[in-house]
């Protein structure tokens, strides 16, 4: 007996629920009828017979799991022991399954055997196999495929390990390691963070020895003592993965290579002597000789790791670089960071950049999980940081700085810019918990303080400290976790969207500082009425300048002195909506810009700058599947904050392989780096909800589109 994917998800939801689950919740979550849910419940109950458990209904008619306390462990074991063929696998599951099988194969594997293991036909694997070949090609690994022979990988040990690390950066796989850290540090029985990953058992059994992982966790504690420091969670997990792979491969006699020149350079670093002592310690634990090359790669990880308690004040040279970057960013943005925050920013950014520069010199990549969001929401700051990175390149002879690293710097500087506008309060004490490091924590903290002046952020912690921390009223976390702690935990996203704000409001029974949007109503119409009245009483009125000044006054102030951020529906007028046959991506962007220019929201040159921005920074403007958000800088000709919408009659490719083709182009005209943020948040309701987006692009008139956008914007968060 086995369960389908949806049935297993329903069962796990019931296991985790504190109270009964409504059938309407399940139908909405899985997009199926009530009858299908009832069929699923029947199948689950048939499965639960062997465990003396069953799904019942409470007095309100909600589903509950009826199981004895002593049988819970048995049920968890049954679920964790599900073979990969016991459940329906998604396309992504099949992809990961095949990648793991090929990485661990000693002999050729046939597609027929893979299809048989996955309970699918050979033809249904064609699409998946194409992605598999492309993935290995990106890693520089040759896939040898011959008729009557099968498939086998041909690559060096270095490339093999790089591929495994790439696979391990999968969110679900890294979640497994985070769960290990929590289990090791809190003696918890919880052994997974996300209970819906069916590839995980194969992944960890094929590539790692779980017993060794706990030894490595203890060993890293010894390493932290040697360094007199603590790694942040993300760097800790990266080092754990690297060491786990290395130990297993060394046991099999697979050694990694490094050039003599690079190794000699690393031997001059302080971290090398620490790595050498650590290697001797590993030798006593695993009874394995650690070659110099392995010590070299451990050194690179230590140099590139982000640590919590590093004192970087003695690095005067790097501090000067940081000060120059901050000054240049402020100059580009024409904004100043408050003096009371500048010292902390210099210190934090120096701490961040010290390992970052080592990563860049050694081509050690780091992934920023919210890179796309940073680019979309904080484009002005990101662009200013990117232009300021020449200071790092010239000083340290670095040719290229990836966007992921630029985004982390953006988060530090952006957090200080946000703080400079925050009114502080001390009513509720909170701490933030993030896995992505200090930059994420700082950005989250500043967003919380801006939206909730009554919340005081008293610190940022890692997952290790969560169960022992008792100084706060609440933990606000960006980590998916089931940690048990005396302090309640609120799970949010790093940039705190509207849904997160509502969650904090409900949980803490408070209200964010919000403007009264009804004061302005339809901004364009009101401004037009005022301009017409002024023209009737003046013969030499500069209409464009007057309208611009008036718009800025109304958009930045209300009768309480609070900032007003307009909704998406207020920025997209029917005059700025079109249905268009675009020749290519540039033509589509120019149409979006033309609508802004024609309605006197931007100068003519703004359109060219929108196109130039795409050419300069790439197709990141395709923010999600089917949606592009072209824009330029405020000084490039923006007259007032506004947005346009171009519905493409024929979808166009922008060069973004993940999100092409584009069906809707939202042109953005911003007068600063924050007034449009509410509208971008509203845009997210179409970006993350396929039904909303499908309905939007199916509408046939401008009036219908305008009405629908307003309807979605006005929906409460509980109906999102």
Tens of pLDDT along 486-506?
Answer: 788 888 876 677 788 888 888
d(C-alpha 99, C-alpha 202), whole Å: 11
Question: Across the strands, what pairs with 90?
Answer: none
d(C-alpha 54, C-alpha 703), whole Å: 52
The number of C-alpha atoms within 13 Å of 216 and in the hemisphere containing its C-beta is: 22
What is the pTM (predicted TM-score) of this model?
0.45
d(C-alpha 449, C-alpha 422), whole Å: 6
In sequence order, the 6+-apart residues with CB closer than 8 A to the CB of 22 are 62, 63
Residue 313 φ then ψ, to 5°: -65, -25
Cβ atoms 326, 413 nearer than 8 A: yes
Q: How long, in residues, is the chain?
A: 720
Measured N-to-C along each axis, helices 34-48 and 5-16 cross at an angle, to the nearest 10 degrees, of: 80
Query: Pick from 640, 679, 642: which is nearest to 549 by CA?
Result: 640
Say what the pLDDT of residue 607 is: 93
Cβ atoms 371, 407 nearer than 8 A: yes
Q: What is the pLDDT of residues 536-580, one digit of tens each?
A: 665 566 665 565 566 555 544 443 444 456 788 888 989 999 999
In sequence order, the 6+-apart residues with CB closer than 8 A to the CB of 457 are 430, 431, 432, 445, 448, 449
Distances (CA, A) of 689 to 28, 109, 638, 684: 13, 40, 30, 8
Note the helical H segments in 187-227.
200-207, 210-227
Question: What is the DSSP-derived secondary structure letter of residue 522?
Answer: S
Q: Considering the domain 428-508, what is its CATH architecture?
A: 3-Layer(aba) Sandwich (3.40)
Say what the pLDDT of residue 192 is: 38
CATH homologous superfamily, domain 316-419: PRD domain (1.10.1790.10)
Say what the pLDDT of residue 282 is: 92
Say what the pLDDT of residue 517 is: 32
Query: Pick from 493, 512, 232, 237: which is nearest to 374 by CA?
Result: 493
Cβ of 462: how many Cβ atoms within 10 Å? 21
In sequence order, the 6+-apart residues with CB closer than 8 A to the CB of 410 are 374, 378, 381, 382, 385
Say what the pLDDT of residue 424 is: 39
Q: Which of 3.30.1300.10, 3.90.930.12, 1.10.10.10, 3.30.70.980 would CATH assign to domain 5-82?
A: 1.10.10.10
In sequence order, the 6+-apart residues with CB closer than 8 A to the CB of 260 are none
Say what the pLDDT of residue 647 is: 95
Q: Is 173 a catalytic residue?
A: no
Token reading at 539: 């013969």
**Boundaries of every domain in the chain:** 5-82, 316-419, 428-508, 517-556, 568-719
Say what the pLDDT of residue 133 is: 93
For the residues of 225-276, what is the DSSP string, one character each? Answer: HHHTS-B-HHHHHHHHHHHHHHHHHHHTT------HHHHHHHTTSHHHHHHH
Cβ atoms 64, 55 nearer than 8 A: yes
d(C-alpha 155, C-alpha 158), whole Å: 8
Token reading at 44: 């689950």
- Report how far apart the first and last C-alpha atoms of the chain are (Å, whole number): 37
Question: Which residue in 182, 352, 412, 631 is the catalytic one?
Answer: 631
Question: Domain 568-719 - what CATH class?
Answer: alpha beta
Cβ atoms 98, 114 nearer than 8 A: yes
Q: How do beta strands 489-491 and 455-461 pair?
A: unpaired
Contacts 24+ apart (CB under 8 A), 16-20: 16/195, 16/482, 17/64, 17/65, 19/58, 19/62, 19/64, 20/57, 20/58, 20/60, 20/62, 20/63, 20/64
d(C-alpha 236, C-alpha 217), whole Å: 9
3-state secondary structure 365-434: CCCCCCHHHHHHHCHHHHHHHHHHCHHHHHHHCCCCCCHHHHHHHHHHHHHHHHHCCCCCCCCEEEEEEC
The CA angle 7-170-16, to the nearest 5 degrees, is 35
pLDDT lower than 50: segments of the chain: 1, 83-87, 187-197, 308-313, 423-426, 436-438, 514-522, 555-563, 716-720
């Amino acid at each position: 007996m086995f369960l389908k994917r949806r049935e297993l998800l329903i069962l796990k939801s019931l296991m985790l629920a504190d109270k009964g689950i409504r059938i309407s919740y399940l139908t909405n979550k899985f997009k199926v009828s009530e009858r299908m849910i009832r069929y699923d419940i029947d199948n689950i109950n048939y499965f639960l017979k062997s465990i003396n458990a069953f799904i019942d209904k409470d007095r309100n008619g909600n589903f509950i799991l009826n199981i004895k306390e002593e049988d819970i462990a048995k049920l968890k074991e049954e679920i964790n022991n599900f073979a990969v063929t016991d459940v329906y696998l998604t396309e992504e599951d099949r992809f990961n399954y095949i990648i793991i099988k090929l990485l661990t194969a000693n002999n050729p594997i046939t597609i027929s055997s893979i299809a048989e293991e996955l309970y699918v036909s050979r033809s249904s694997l064609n699409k998946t196999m194409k992605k598999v070949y492309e993935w290995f090609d990106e890693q520089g690994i040759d896939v040898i495929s011959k008729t009557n022979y099968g498939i086998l990988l041909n690559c060096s040990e270095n490339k093999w390990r790089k591929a495994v690390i790439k696979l391990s950066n999968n969110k679900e796989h890294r979640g497994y390691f985070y769960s290990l850290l929590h289990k090791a540090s809190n003696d918890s029985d919880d052994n997974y963070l996300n209970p819906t990953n069916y590839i995980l058992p194969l992944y960890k059994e094929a590539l790692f020895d779980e017993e060794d992982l706990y030894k490595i966790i203890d060993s890293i504690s010894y390493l932290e003592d040697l360094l007199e420091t603590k790694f942040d969670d993300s760097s800790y997990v990266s080092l754990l993965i690297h060491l786990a792979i290395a130990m297993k491969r060394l046991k099999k006699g697979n050694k990694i290579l490094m050039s003599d020149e690079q190794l000699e350079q690393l031997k001059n670093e302080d971290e090398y002597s620490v790595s050498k002592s650590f290697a001797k310690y590993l030798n006593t634990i695993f009874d394995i000789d650690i070659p110099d090359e392995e010590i070299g790669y451990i050194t690179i990880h230590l140099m590139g790791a982000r640590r919590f308690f590093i004192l970087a004040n003695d690095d005067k040279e790097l501090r000067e670089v940081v000060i120059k970057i901050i000054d240049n960013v402020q100059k580009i943005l024409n904004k100043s960071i408050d003096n009371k925050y500048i010292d902390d920013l210099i210190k934090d950014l120096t701490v961040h950049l010290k390992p970052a520069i080592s990563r860049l010199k050694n081509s050690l990549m780091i992934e920023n999980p919210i890179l796309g969001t940073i680019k979309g929401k904080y484009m002005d700051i990101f662009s200013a940081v990117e232009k300021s990175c020449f200071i790092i390149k010239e000083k340290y002879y670095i040719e290229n700085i990836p966007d992921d690293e630029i985004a982390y710097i953006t988060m530090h500087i952006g957090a200080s810019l946000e703080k400079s506008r925050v009114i502080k309060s001390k009513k509720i004490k909170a701490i933030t918990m993030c896995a992505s490091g200090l930059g994420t924590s700082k950005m989250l903290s500043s967003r919380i303080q801006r939206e909730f002046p009554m919340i005081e952020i008293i610190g940022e912690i890692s997952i290790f400290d969560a169960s022992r921390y008792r100084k706060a009223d609440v933990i606000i976390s960006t980590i998916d976790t089931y940690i048990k702690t005396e302090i309640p935990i609120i799970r949010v996203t790093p940039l705190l969207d509207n849904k997160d704000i509502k969650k904090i409001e409900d949980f803490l029974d408070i209200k964010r500082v919000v403007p009264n949007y009804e004061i302005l109503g339809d901004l364009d119409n009101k401004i037009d009425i005022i301009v017409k009245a002024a023209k009737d009483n003046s013969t030499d009125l500069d209409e464009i300048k007057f309208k611009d000044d008036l718009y800025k006054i109304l958009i930045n102030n209300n009768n309480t002195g609070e900032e007003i951020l307009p909704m998406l529906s207020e920025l997209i007028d029917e005059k700025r909506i079109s249905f268009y046959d675009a020749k290519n991506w540039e033509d589509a962007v120019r149409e979006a810009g033309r609508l802004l220019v024609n309605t006197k929201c931007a100068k003519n040159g703004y359109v060219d700058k929108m196109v130039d921005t795409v050419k300069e920074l790439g197709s990141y403007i395709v923010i999600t599947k089917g949606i592009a958000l072209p824009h330029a800088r405020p000084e490039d000709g923006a007259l007032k904050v506004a947005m346009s919408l171009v519905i493409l009659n024929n979808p166009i490719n922008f060069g973004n392989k993940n999100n092409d083709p584009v069906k809707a182009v939202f042109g953005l005209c911003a007068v600063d780096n924050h007034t449009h943020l509410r509208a971008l948040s509203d845009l997210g309701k179409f970006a993350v909800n396929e039904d909303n987006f499908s309905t939007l692009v199916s509408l046939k008139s401008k009036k219908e589109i305008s009405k629908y956008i307003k309807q979605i914007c006005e929906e409460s968060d509980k109906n999102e």
